[in-house]
Amino acid sequence: MNEVTKIDGIGSSVRRTEDKKFLTGKGKYTDDINRPGQVQAYFLRSDVAHAKIKKIDVKDAQSAPGVVGVFTGDDIAADKVGGPICGWVVPCRDGSATKEPPHPLLAQGKVRFVGDAIAVVLAETAEQAKSGAELIEVDYEELSPVVDFENAGEGAQIHDEVPNNCYFDWELGDEKATADALSSAKKIVKLRVRNNRLVPNAMEPRCALAEFDNLDDSYTLHTTSQNPHLTRLVLAAFMFAIPESKLRVIAPDVGGGFGSKIYVYIEEAVCVWASKKVGRPVKWTADRTQAFLTDCHGRDHVNDVQLGLDENNKIVGLRVDTVCNLGAYLSAFSVVVPTYLHGTLLSGQYDIPAIYTNVKGMATNTVNVDAYRGAGRPEATYLLERTMETAAREVGMDPAEFRRINFIPKGAFPYQTQVALQYDIGDYEPHLDKAMEMIDYSNFEKRRAEAAKRGMYRGIGISSYIEACGLAPSAVVGALGGRVGQWESASVRVNPTGTISVFTGSHSHGQGHATTFAQIVADKLGIPMENVEVVHGDTDKTPFGMGSYGSRSLASGGSAISKAVDKIINKSKKIAAHLLEASEDDIDFKDGKFVVGGTDKEKAFGEIALAAYVPHNYPLETLEPGLEENAFYDPTNFVYPSGTHIAEVEVDPATGVVQVVDWAACDDFGNLVNPMIVEGQVHGGIAQGIGQALLEDAHYDENGQLLTASYMDYCMPRADDLPSFKVGYTTTPSTVNDLGVKGCGEAGAIASPPALINAVIDALSPLGVTDMSMPATPQKVWKAIQDSQSVAAE
């Protein structure tokens, strides 16, 4: 890379250029946008989890003050509008396909979770719409709710199309080889772990503003989306059967997504439909309660693990049987998250000769479960790293050494796992060593003893994780049941004065793309990054792209930008060769200048740009004027970030309170474009992981009522729950892309929960505690201590 541009090029911790507007309250979110004549939508939602709808009476609502229209599922069905689609399906063990029940935009005949939308009321104001909805009478015939997903197979059938409430029963790996390995193992470590259910809680609730233009029969939708082009594709091609060109989707500033804003939800589709129906713009903004009830939740697995070891404590085989809760309807990626984004990660950083996994995806009367920061990889990492620590304890080895002897050795890359993935590159011992050094692992027992003098139990826990991100090689995705491509696009426009406009198919909703992407362009072209603007989030402006999720924006979106810039440089060399009267082969591009090798003849990048747009002296017979290039980048493989996180905790035995006292994170993200932004992503990810491990738990009661439907009961991590993080890196550049980058957005949330729970168990191990489920709340930890003491007393 260009040395001279290090000030703001690749590898520099440039301050985020987009933050001024956010920090001064000037961001422009969907709810900030209003259109003349708009009406407000309010959705009447089911307050029971499972029921037949016998009758809906909307008469009184229709004549309520300010009400413009009241519509139910029948009105939408009459217009033949389809429901949300599942973007990825998997085959079942018995050869059958994933069961895909219909998901009507508004309930038809049945409601399937508390929050299921029954009717929409449109009124002049949001309060009038809500008042109108209060006048709708719904006559239910209540059915037995299915909440416990482990036993959902015995519950009342939720969909006619889904026997035994099982959407799919999928497997991966060699069952016989794994059984043989386990039967010949010297020791089998067994563990049952639960991955608690989480509510995504993006700071900005979902919002949609749809407008129909009857002059050209087209729609414009402003919405809170992580991927406006996919939203347009799904709405236009699958739900409304209109040409994409008749729908413009704009996702302006979006206040966080964490996966929950990947999918097309029913609300934005209803707004689009209703905007034509009533001939006025339709706006809907979720309040926090609706966000809790209707945003797709995350995680919710139970995993039974068997890990076989030989006489040298080397792993010989791994079997994982998983049951997961997918909720009332299939969501866009709900099938792939617990299967190909989970089962394929079960080898972790370890050389495991035989692996088999079976996953059953169950329907329940709870809101849909789909991707949440990490999406499948946190669940895989949690079960594996909990098992590794348990195994080490059971065989009496130091958990770090037990991992070390089982790591895939540095020389074994590319490494073919037994669960489909091929890791291109990695080197695991250095980040384990560095994390141990950062946290002063060797002196831990002194700290434990010192804490004991204060009456506190101190513990340390390790998590060595791997993840697959940078979604994704399209051919692989297609072969595994994906219904979309996973490439990314970029368009790079050089303006006549040499400034650059980058149009990306990625979408930034907090990640800092405006800064990171500008750094890539500035670095490659040797120009100041202030000269680079990044445009995203509008299907009318940006090339078709797949959006942001799965830590793909830099590895895939950044690579597309890099490729487009390479095309710019190649064309610029031709122009420079003409202007400098030299052969193109003799032109070197360095530090923003095109130089004839071995001479002092040069042209600055800006001069080339001007020549391209004012082609008075220009090779027009062989070269088009202008300077603008597109690129589509389809990766040849996933990228594989890895790392080791070590948590240190102190437990107060009198209250059960777990205090996270230290944290070392050493990650290998390949090359870093902006280390400050990367560190921020690591901090945020760990904070979310600590939230999952200690605080957060979405809890439905046996009737399917969400008991944790507000911040009064759903506990989010706060600053005082977090320690000061020690963050470090090792670097093995990815071989998959030219930038050598991997992904950093989800790693913290993937790595941290098992490190923390392992530390809690380690702290309590002197008391005989060997297990702890998430979240390790004060009450639960206190109870575990009480139970261990009563066992000891017996």
Partner 1 sequence: MYSTKYVKPNSTTEALEAIKSLGDGKFLAGGMTLIPTLKQRLASPDGLVDLSGCKLDSIAEEGETLKIGAMARHVSVAESAVVKKVIPALAKLADGIGDRQVRNRGTIGGSVANNDPSACYPSAVLALKATIHTNNRSIAADDFFTGMFETALEDDEIIESISFSKPTKANYVKFPNPASRYAMVGVFVAQFGDEVRVAVTGAGEGGVFRHQEMESVLSSNFSADSLSSVNIDSDGLISDLHASAEYRANLIKEMTKRAVV
Residues making contact with partner 1 (CB under 8 A)? 127, 130-131, 654-656, 695, 699, 707-708, 711-716, 777-779, 782-783
Q: 512 vs 656, which CB is nearer to partner 1?
A: 656
Min separation Cβ 456 and partner 1, Å? 14
Q: 749 vs 785, which CB is nearer to partner 1?
A: 785
Q: 548 vs 777, which CB is nearer to partner 1?
A: 777
> Which residues, other chains included, contact 544 with Cβ-Cβ below 8 Å and sequence gap of 6+?
229, 489, 505
Q: In the 8-state DSSP scheme, what is residue 129? A: H
Min separation Cβ 707 and partner 1, Å? 6
- Residue closest to 677 by CA, chosen among 719, 638, 722, 727: 727
As a whole number of angstroms, the distance between CA 227 and CA 539 comes to: 10
Q: 575 vs 690, which CB is nearer to partner 1?
A: 690
Q: 168 vs 714, which CB is nearer to partner 1?
A: 714
Min separation Cβ 287 and partner 1, Å? 9
Q: Is 643 helix (H, G, I), strand (E, B) or coil?
A: strand
Q: 128 vs 542, which CB is nearer to partner 1?
A: 128
Min separation Cβ 284 and partner 1, Å? 18
Query: Which value, in Å, is the radius of gyration of the alpha carbons in the chain?
Result: 28
- Answer yes or no: are the C-beta atoms of 573 and 587 closer than 8 Å: yes
Q: Report the relative pairing of strands 457-466 and 422-423 from DSSP bridges.
A: unpaired
Min separation Cβ 2 and partner 1, Å? 47
Q: 82 vs 689, which CB is nearer to partner 1?
A: 689
Q: 446 vs 783, which CB is nearer to partner 1?
A: 783
Min separation Cβ 320 and partner 1, Å? 30
One-character DSSP codes across 732-786: ---SSSTT-B---TTHHHHHHHHHHHHHHHHHHGGGT----PSS--HHHHHHHHH
> Which residues, other chains included, contact 616 with Cβ-Cβ below 8 Å and sequence gap of 6+?
none
Alpha helix segments (H runs only) across 580-692:
605-613, 675-690
Q: Is 81 helix (H, G, I), strand (E, B) or coil?
A: coil
Tokens of 711: 């911040």
Q: 254 vs 757, which CB is nearer to partner 1?
A: 757
- What SS3 string covers 348-417? CCECCCCEEEEEEEEECCCCCECCCCCCCHHHHHHHHHHHHHHHHHHHCCCHHHHHHHHECCHHHCCEEC
Min separation Cβ 782 and partner 1, Å? 6
**Could you tell me the strand order of the sheet in which 602-604 lies?**
587-590, 593-596, 602-604
Min separation Cβ 690 and partner 1, Å? 12
Min separation Cβ 150 and partner 1, Å? 20
Q: 534 vs 785, which CB is nearer to partner 1?
A: 785
Alpha helix segments (H runs only) across 595-712:
605-613, 675-690
Min separation Cβ 693 and partner 1, Å? 13
Min separation Cβ 654 and partner 1, Å? 5
Q: Cis peptide leading into 754, omega within 30 of 0? A: no
Q: 400 vs 785, which CB is nearer to partner 1?
A: 785
- Write the CA distances from 372 to 122, 260, 475, 691, 692, integer angstroms: 31, 7, 24, 13, 11
Name residue, tokens 């420079």: 576
